[in-house]
Structure 1
Amino acid sequence: MNPELLTSFNFLPLPLLATTEAESSSLILAGVLLSLAVIYLASKLGGEICSRINLPPVLGELICGVLVGISALHLLILTDIGETGTNSVIMDLLQATAHMEPAMFSHVFQSQREVISVLAEMGVVVLLFEIGLESDLKELLRVGIQSTVVAVIGVVTPLVLGTAGLMLLFGIPAVPAVFAGAALTATSIGITAKVLAEMQRLNTREGQIIVGAAVIDDVLGIIVLAVVAGLARDGQVVVRDVVYLIVSAAVFFIGAIWVGRLLNPFFVRMVNQMKTRGQVLLSALFFALILSYISATIHLEAILGAFAAGLVLAETEKREELQKQVAPVADTLMPVFFVVVGARTDISVLNPFVPENWEGLIMASFLILIAIAGKVVTGFGVFGQPGINRLAIGVGMVPRGEVGLVFAAIGDATGALSESLSAAIIVMVILTTFLAPPMLRWTFSLSEGPGDSPSVASLNSSTAEPVLVESERQPELVESETQ
Structure 2
Amino acid sequence: MSYPIVLASAEAAEGPLVLAAVLLSLVVTYLASKIGGEICARINLPSVLGELVFGVLVGVSALHLVMLPADGITGSDSMLLKLLNQSTPMASETLNSVFRSQGEVISVLSELGVIILLFEIGLESQLKELLRVGPQAAVVACVGVAAPFIAGTAGLIAIFHVATVPAIFAGAALTATSIGITARVLAELNRLSSSEGQIIIGAAVLDDVLGIIVLAIVASLAKTGEVELSKVAILIVSAGVFLVGAIVLGRWLSPLLMKLVSEMRTRGQVLITALIFAFLLSYVANVIQLEAILGAFAAGLILAETERQEELIEQIKPIADMLVPIFFITVGARTDVSVLNPFNPANREGLIISAFLIVVAILGKVITGWTVFGKEKLNRLAIGVGMIPRGEVGLVFASVGTASGVLSDALNAAIVVMVILTTFLAPPLLRLVFQNPNEVAAGLPSPVGLAAGGGAELSLLDGQAVEAEPAKKPEEV
The reply to whether TM is greater than 0.5 is yes
What do the CA deviations read for 1:78-125 (whole angstroms, capped 9, x no partner)? Answer: 153232222100110111112223331121111100110111011000
Say whether 1:432 aligns with 2:422.
yes
Alignment of 1:285-434 (within 5 A): 285-434=275-424
Q: 1:167 matched to which residue of 2?
A: 157
Q: Secondary structure at the match of 2:33?
A: helix
Q: Confirm or deny: 8 A CA contact 1:46 1:60 kept in the other structure.
A: yes
TM-aligned CA deviation for residue 276 of structure 1? 0.5
Counterpart-to-counterpart distance in 1, 2:53 and 2:393: 18
In 2, are the aligned partners of 1:200 and 1:458 still within 8 Å (CA)?
no
Query: 2:435 is paired with a residue of what secondary structure?
Result: helix
> What letter is aligned with 1:67?
L
> Following the alignment from structure 1 to structure 2, what is the Cα–Cα distance between the partners of residues 251 and 408?
29
Once the two structures are TM-superposed, the CA of residue 446 in structure 1 deviates from its matched residue by: 4.3
| Distance in 2, Cα, partners of 1:116 & 1:50 | 25
Q: Secondary structure at the match of 1:86?
A: helix
Q: For 1:81, what is the secondary structure of its paired residue?
A: coil
Structure 1 residue 373: Cα displacement: 0.3
Q: Do 1:133 and 1:311's aligned partners in 2 also have CA atoms closer than 8 Å?
A: yes
Percent identity among equivalent residues? 61
1:44-193 pair list within 5 angstroms: 44-193=34-183
Contact 1:139–1:208 (Cα < 8 Å) also in 2: yes
| Counterpart residue identity of residue 53, structure 2 | I
Distance across 2 between alignment mates of 1:102 and 1:241: 43
Residues 275 and 180 of structure 1, relative CA distance in 2, 3 Å threshold: same
Alignment partners' CA distance in 2, 1:59 and 1:90: 24
User: Partners of 1:263 and 1:456 in 2: how far apart?
Assistant: 38
Distance 2:458 2:427 in 1: 23
Amino acid paired to 1:467:
E
| Structure 1 partner of 2:474 | none
Give me the whole-angstrom Cα distance separating, in 2, the residues matched to 1:377 and 1:389: 12
Structure 2 CA distance for aligned equivalents of residues 254 and 343 of structure 1:
36
Partner of 1:230: 220
Segment drifting more, 314-323 vs 94-103: 94-103
Deviates more, 1:287-296 or 1:442-451: 442-451
After superposition, the Cα gap between the structure-2 partners of 1:79 and 1:395, relative to the gap in structure 1 and judged at 3 Å, is farther
- Structure 2 distance, partners of 1:288, 1:421, is 38
Give, as a single letter, the amino acid of the residue that structure 1 aligns with 2:435.
S
> Aligned pair count?
454
**Mapped contact 1:345–1:430 kept (Cα < 8 A):** yes
Runs of at least 5 residues in structure 1 that lack an aligned partner in the other structure: 1-9, 460-464, 470-483
Residue in 2 that maps onto 1:479? none
Q: Is the 8 A contact 1:79 1:344 kept in 2?
A: no
> What TM-score, normalized to structure 2?
0.92
Residues 389 and 447, structure 1, Cα contact 8 Å, conserved in 2 = no
Equivalent-residue separation in structure 1 for 2:190 and 2:426 (angstroms):
16
- Counterpart CA distance in 1 for 2:33 and 2:162 is 39
For 1:252-304, what per-residue CA distance to the aligned partner results, in whole angstroms no more than 9, with x for missing partners?
Answer: 00000000000111111111101111000000000000000000000000000
| Contact 1:399/1:436 (8 A) holds in 2 | yes
> Which residue of the other structure, out of 16, 24, 36, is the alignment partner of 2:14?
24
8 A contact 2:126–2:301 mirrored in 1:
yes
Q: Tell me if 1:196 matches 2:210.
A: no
Relative to structure 1, the CA distance from residue 316 to residue 417 in structure 2 (aligned partners, 3 Å threshold; closer, same or farther) is same
Once residues 438 and 174 of structure 2 are traced to their aligned partners in structure 1, the CA distance between those partners, rounded to angstroms, is: 30
Counterpart AA for 2:91: E
Contact 1:47 1:58 survives alignment (8 Å): yes
Q: 2:275 matched to 1:273?
A: no
Which amino acid in 2 is paired with 1:22?
A
After TM superposition, give the deviation of residue 47 of structure 1 in Å: 0.1
Per-residue deviation at 1:42?
Answer: 0.3
One-letter code aligned to 2:119? F
Q: What one-letter code is carried by the residue in structure 1 that aligns with 2:253? A: L
Shift of 1:391: 0.2
Instruction: Determine the C-alpha separation between the residues in 2 that align with 1:278 and 1:365.
Output: 51
Which of 243, 247, 252 does residue 253 from structure 1 map onto? 243
CA distance in 2, matches of 1:447, 1:411: 43
Separation in 2 of the partners of 1:453 and 1:50?
17
- Whether the aligned pair in 1 keeps the contact of 2:217 and 2:232 (CA below 8 Å) is yes
**Alpha-carbon separation, structure 2, partners of 1:458 and 1:408:** 38
On the 8 A contact 1:376/1:394 being kept in 2, the answer is yes
Q: Tell me if structure 2 keeps the 8 A contact 1:364–1:424.
A: yes
Q: Which residue of 1 aligns with 2:230?
A: 240
Equivalent residue for 2:452?
A: none
- 1:467 match: secondary structure: strand
Structure 2 CA distance, aligned partners of 1:79 and 1:166?
Answer: 31
Q: Tell me by how many angstroms 1:21 deviates.
A: 2.4
Segments of structure 2 that go 5 or more residues without pairing to the other structure are: 449-456, 462-466, 472-477
**In 1: Cα distance, 2:445 partner to 2:22 partner:** 48
CA distance in structure 2 between the partners assigned to 1:466 and 1:408 by the alignment? 43
